[in-house]
Amino acid sequence: MIAPHTPFARKLGAFVALSDMELQLLDQLHSRRRFFPARQDMIYEGQIERSAYILASGWVCSYKLLPGGTRQVVDFQIPGDFLGLRSVLFRKADHNIEPITRVQASEVQVCDLLEAVNTAPRLGAALLWAASRDEAMVVEHLVGIGRRDAKQRMAHLLLELGARLKLVGLASNDGYTCPLTQYLLADALGLSAVHVNRVLRELREDGLVTFQQSKVTFGDFDGMVAFSKFDRHYLDHDGPLMTWPGGGPSSIQMLTGLPGP
């Protein structure tokens, strides 16, 4: 796959207007392709092998398992996301990553990552942006669990997933394909599966959104935004802050339609 078309390049292009040389380096990071079946951890807590993954297709979740057997889903990852960055930077992985569907991912070892960043420091800045954005999402999830009611919590998460998928060309304001079960949503939102079912029904009856047969369909997108008080600025998707040194549009800008310098 040519780098400008990959979800990873489209995502990083939201921060850095990638040059052709930087796109070639991203291509090299995609050289080790692997497939993983659903429900078999790709990374597990305590793992010491120093490798991470760039998700090319499919969905995964990152989670912490409690001693009693319950778990908290920290986030859902979609194509274009970097998986297990902390497992590369830390001595041990501090959480588990489990495929929700069959996934295709590129394995990235620490030496590959350091070589790419050393050759193109702006890629390092883009990865720092991606990690910072992930941290901002975790903050929003914490606020949601602590202060939003169940319906707002659900609406906010569905809008966030839609915004993230739209960035990599997999969603629109009409909706998106979504493989999440009510049990996964419950583990992410701090609700029971029964409560999740009731909340989704109420949102559907309100005419805001329908989630059926693995498809999220927004009935009233603006109404959903207003109801959940969704402010997408924490996702920082408004175009690259770092532009191509040549001054003109880069390949990624021309392909994705992101704003130029």
Summarised one tens digit per residue, pLDDT across range 108-155 is 988 888 899 899 988 888 888 888 898 899 999 999 999 999 999 999
* pLDDT beyond 70 at 24: yes
Long-range contacts of 109-117 (CB under 8 A, 24+ apart): 109/50, 109/51, 110/50, 110/51, 112/28, 112/29, 113/29, 113/52, 113/88, 116/25, 116/26, 116/28, 116/29
Specify whether the CB–CB gap between 13 and 258 falls below 8 A: yes
* pLDDT beyond 50 at 257: no
DSSP state at residue 236: -
Q: In terms of Cα–Cα distance, which of 189, 186, 187 is closest to 197?
A: 186
The Cα-based distances of 74 to 63, 95, 140 in angstroms read: 5, 9, 11
What is this structure's pTM? 0.88
- Mean pLDDT is lowest, of 43-52, 182-191, 209-218, 242-251, for 242-251
pLDDT digits (tens, 9 = 90+) for 39-64: 999 988 888 876 789 999 999 999 99
Q: What's the pLDDT band for 241 if we cut at 50, 70, 90?
A: low
What is the maximal distance between C-alpha atoms in the chain? 56
Q: In terms of Cα–Cα distance, which of 27, 20, 32, 243 is closest to 126?
A: 243
